[in-house]
Each structure stands twice: as structure tokens, then as C-alpha cells.
Amino acid sequence: MKNGGFLKLYTWLIIIWLSSPIAVMVLFGFNDKQSKSNTTWQGFTLKWYGKLFEIEGLTGALVNSLLIALAATVVTVVIGTMLGLALGRHRFRGQGATNFLVFAAISTPELVMGASLLSLFVSANLPRDAVTIIIAHVLFSLSFVTVTVRARVLTLDPSLEEAAKDLGASPWGTFRQVTLPAILPGVAAGGMLAFALSIDDYVVTSFVNGSTMTFPLWIVGSVKTGIPPQVNVMGTLIFGIGVLIAVANSIAARRRA
């Protein structure tokens, strides 16, 4: 029992350590800084919340990130769900090779993925912009959606779909009214993961962005000149929204259960 008490304290210390940079981020969004750098505490202010969208480049980068994440998520969810269904529901030739490709896409280091995509785009003389970023984001999210959906499909009782067909439902009707509702939690989880991966990505994006700026790229670009407090405020708001969605999600899941 004594042993457990010590480990409990230790676990809390690790949680506090992991969360401390979040606290710093939130705190310095309220810092009334006078000099260029935002590293020392100079008093409380709310003015950065008022001036949230005053830095044009930063606002543009955030909007780009949101739009790119949205587009990449839609594409990834559609083609990833299709592949997840194929792998979880059907037996077909090339299944082993497909599984290997899905695994390869997960285990390729981000840096190598970004570099190789740039090699392709340079060789093909393709200009780098938001489209190439979306292509890259779909690539690194695809396997995660596929794996999540496949796991959900495998838990699904095939006799449900057979029953629908026996009752005269068309293949599309069966999919829309039986399969899709049953796998929807997996599809939604995959979609959220794809969105989170896309909006957070720095490494792959840094290779394929051309002159298009995203939120993480803009932040890294401003490290040398000093990060404006607006970045902290945006980070705080994204953090708050993310936690709210997660908590609401788990409460809803508990109600359903």
C-alpha cells in the first residue's frame, strides 16, 4: 500500500511535468510584454485576445491550416474507409501486399516521406502549394483511418448485411442503412485523427509547402524573431476547443453505453 502511495505521487509528478508547457503557453498569452521577446513575465493583460487576428500572416496561416486539414480529412476518410472495408470485409488477391503498403506508410519516417515527395514534385516540375500539402497529409493519415475502420469492420457481424440483402436491400442501400451506421464510430475516430495529424504537422509540410504557410510553419519561422503572444492565445483556444470536444465525446459515449 505504501508502495502504491509513492507511485501515485510519482504519476502525478509526471502528469504535471507533461502539462507544464501547456500552463506556460496559456500564461504567456496573458503576458503584458513590452519588449520584442515574450519570455519574461511582465504583468497580466487581456489585450492579445482583443488583437488576436491583427497579425495578417499568422491569421492567414491558421486559416490555411484549417482549410487544408478539412480538405485532407474529407479525402482521407473517403478513400481510407473504402480501403478499410475492402481489407476488413473481403478476401482478395493482393491483400497481403496492400497490408504491407498500409504498414509501410505508417512506419516511413516523416522526414523521408516529405523528402521523397519533394523529389517527386521537383522531378515532375509540379509547383508546390496547398494542393501538394493536401496530397502529403492524405498520404500520412490514410493508413491511420484504414486501420481504425478495418478494426471496426472486423467487429461487425456479417449476418446483419446478409439479412439486409435477404430483405431485398440493394448493395448501396445495405451499405447506407446497415454497414455505414455500424462502422460510423470508427470512421469518425479516423476522421478526427486525420484532422489532428494534418493541423499539427510540421516536418512533411516543410518539404512540400512552396510558399504556402501553415500554422506550425509560421510558428517555427517566427522563433528567431520572437513568438508573438497571439500564437499563445490561438494555441490556448485550440487546446480548449479540443479538450471540450474530447470530454463531450466521452460523456456522449458513456450515455450511449
- Using CB under 8 A as the binding rule, the residues of this chain from 174 to 233 that contact another protein are 196, 199-200, 202-203, 206-207, 215-216, 219-220, 223, 227, 231
Which lies closer to another protein via its Cβ, residue 59 or residue 206?
206
By CB under 8 A, tell whether 170 contacts another protein. Answer: no
By CB under 8 A, tell whether 98 contacts another protein. Answer: yes
CB 154 within 8 A of CB 87: no
Count of chain residues binding another protein (CB under 8 A):
81
> Which of 71, 117, 115, 79 is closest to 98 using CA atoms?
79
CB neighbours of residue 16 within 10 Å: 10
Q: Which of 167, 184, 250, 252 binds another protein (CB under 8 A)?
A: 250
By CB under 8 A, tell whether 257 contacts another protein. Answer: no
By CB under 8 A, tell whether 252 contacts another protein. Answer: no
Residue 35-74 contact track with another protein, rule CB under 8 A, x = bound:
----xxx---------------------------------
By CB under 8 A, tell whether 17 contacts another protein. Answer: yes
CB neighbours of residue 64 within 10 Å: 19
CB 113 within 8 A of CB 204: yes
**For helices 130-154 and 180-200, what crossing angle results, to 10°?**
140
Give Cβ neighbours of residue 114 (< 8 Å, ≥ 6 apart): 136, 203, 204, 205, 206, 207, 208
CB of 157 to another protein, least distance (A): 19
Which lies closer to another protein via its Cβ, residue 79 or residue 188?
79
By CB under 8 A, tell whether 92 contacts another protein. Answer: yes
CB neighbours of residue 195 within 10 Å: 20
